[in-house]
C-alpha cells in the first residue's frame, strides 16, 4: 500500500486532518515523561471534535472498558518505560529512546513521526466499507526490507514530528470524516505513544475499532499488553524461512517471532467475520505477499496457517509485489511475479481448505 503525499491529500480535501495534528502548523512542545492523567482530561472543544457518531453503529471498541477503569493508562505507562532500554520489538536494541538515543528503527522516543493521515480506500474491503479505513502511516520501521515500496517513509523516515495529543486529535478527526476504523500502519516502534493517544481520544469520544497494521515481527510480550486494546490485528506473514527474512529484511528471527505473535493475536480477537454490512470490527486478518521464485515461502506460510489457526482465518494473498528500493541488487527478486506463480499459491490455499480468502484471491479461484 502506498502512503499518499500531502499534495495528494490536499486534492481530496484531507488537509484539515494535517492541520489538526499540526503537520502543517507549529508542533506542540515535546515531553519525555509518560502522559499524565491531566493530559487525558476532556476539554469541551476536544469532546465536540470527537462527538461525531461512529459509522459502525452500536459496536463498542475493546479499549473503552480499559479506558474507563484506568487500565489503559497503566498499559501506556508500562509500555513507555520500555523505551528507557528499548525492547518494544524483537531487535531488543536496548537504547534509551527517552534520552534521545536511536535504535535500529531510528524512531524518536518522546514524540513520534507521521507520514500521512487519511481515510484510505485501498485497504481490504471489509476495512474500507463506504467511509474508508482511517489510516495513520507512521515513519520508520524495525525491518529493512530491500523491496520496500514505502522506503522513503519506513527507512528514510520522512514525515512530520507530532505529539501524542496531536495523534489523538487525528484519530478523532478520522472518526469525524466517517472512517470505519483507526488503522495504525507500521505501529510497533510507537506502541506506547499509540496506546496513550487511544486513551486520550477515548475520553473525547473515540469509538472506532483499532486496526494494528503490522509487519508481524512483534514481541509476543508486547502483543499481550495490547489485549483488550486492539480490535483488529492485520499482520503480515512475510517469510517462512529465516534465511530469506535475514537476507531480504535483516531479520533472521522473523518467522519464529511472527508465528508466536500471530497465535497470540488470534487468541485475543479470534477469526474476522464481516457484519451484515460487510465490515469487520474485530478479528485477525493476515496478509501474505507472494514474491518471485518462492522467496517468501508462500506455500509453507499457508501450511503453517492451516495447521495452527482455523481454516476460516481471513487471508489476503497479495499479488502486487514490485522490485522497489534495493530489490534490483538481488537478482532472485528483481522482477514482478508471474500469474502462474500467484495461481499456484492460491490453488495451494484452496487445497488446504483455507476458506476465508480475500476477494482478489477468491476471484482467481473462480476464474
What is the model's pTM?
Answer: 0.87
pLDDT of amino acid 54: 72
Cell digits of residue 302: 499457508
**Residue at grid coordinates 500531502:** 6
What distance in Å separates the CA atoms of residue 139 and residue 107, rounded to the nearest whole number? 8
pLDDT of amino acid 155: 86
pLDDT of amino acid 194: 99
Give the residue extent of every domain in the chain: 110-366
For 122-136, the pLDDT digits (tens) are 999 999 999 999 999
Segments in the chain below pLDDT 70: 1-53, 359-367
Question: Phi-psi category of 325—alpha, beta or left, where left has phi over 0 and alpha has psi -120 to 50?
Answer: left
Please determine, looking at this structure, whether the domain spanning 110-366 carries the CATH number 3.20.20.70: yes
Do 231 and 211 form a contact (C-beta atoms < 8 A)?
yes
Amino acid at each position: 500500500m502506498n502512503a499518499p503525499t500531502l499534495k495528494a491529500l490536499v486534492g481530496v480535501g484531507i488537509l484539515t486532518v494535517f492541520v489538526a495534528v499540526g503537520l502543517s502548523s507549529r508542533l506542540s512542545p515535546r515531553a519525555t515523561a509518560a502522559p499524565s492523567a491531566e493530559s487525558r482530561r476532556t476539554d469541551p472543544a476536544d469532546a465536540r471534535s470527537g462527538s461525531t457518531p461512529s459509522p459502525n453503529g452500536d459496536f463498542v471498541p475493546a479499549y473503552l472498558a480499559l479506558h474507563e477503569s484506568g487500565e489503559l493508562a497503566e498499559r501506556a505507562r508500562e509500555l513507555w518505560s520500555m523505551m528507557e532500554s528499548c525492547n518494544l520489538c524483537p531487535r531488543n536494541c536496548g537504547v534509551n529512546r527517552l534520552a534521545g538515543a536511536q535504535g535500529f528503527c531510528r524512531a524518536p522516543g518522546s514524540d513520534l513521526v507521521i507520514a500521512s493521515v487519511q481515510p484510505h480506500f485501498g485497504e481490504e474491503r471489509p476495512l474500507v466499507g463506504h467511509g474508508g479505513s482511517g489510516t495513520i502511516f507512521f515513519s520508520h520501521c524495525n525491518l529493512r526490507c530491500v523491496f520496500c515500496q514505502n522506503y522513503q517513509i519506513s527507512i528514510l523516515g520522512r514525515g512530520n514530528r507530532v505529539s501524542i495529543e496531536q495523534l489523538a486529535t487525528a484519530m478523532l478527526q478520522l472518526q469525524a470524516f466517517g472512517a470505519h476504523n483507526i488503522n495504525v500502519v507500521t505501529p510497533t516502534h510507537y506502541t506506547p505513544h499509540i496506546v496513550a493517544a487511544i486513551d486520550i481520544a477515548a475520553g473525547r469520544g473515540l469509538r472506532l475499532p483499532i486496526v494494528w497494521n503490522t509487519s508481524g515481527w512483534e514481541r509476543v510480550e508486547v502483543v499481550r499488553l495490547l489485549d483488550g486494546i486492539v480490535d483488529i490485528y492485520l499482520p503480515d506473514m512475510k517469510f517462512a524461512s529465516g534465511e530469506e527474512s535475514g537476507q531480504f529484511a535483516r531479520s533472521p528471527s522473523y518467522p519464529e517471532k511472527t508465528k508466536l505473535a500471530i497465535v497470540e493475536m488470534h487468541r485475543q480477537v479470534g477469526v474476522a467475520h464481516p457484519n451484515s454490512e460487510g465490515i469487520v470490527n474485530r478479528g485477525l486478518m493476515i496478509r501474505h505477499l507472494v514474491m518471485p521464485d518462492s522467496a517468501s515461502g508462500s506455500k509453507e506460510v499457508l501450511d503453517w496457517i492451516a495447521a495452527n489457526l482455523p481454516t476460516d482465518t481471513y487471508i489476503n494473498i497479495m499479488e502486487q509485489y514490485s522490485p522497489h528500493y534495493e530489490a534490483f541488487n538481488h537478482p532472485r527478486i528483481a522482477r514482478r511475479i508471474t500469474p502462474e506463480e500467484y495461481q499456484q499459491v492460491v490453488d495451494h490455499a484452496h487445497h488446504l481448505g483455507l476458506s476465508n480468502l480475500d476477494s482478489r484471491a477468491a476471484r482467481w479461484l473462480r476464474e
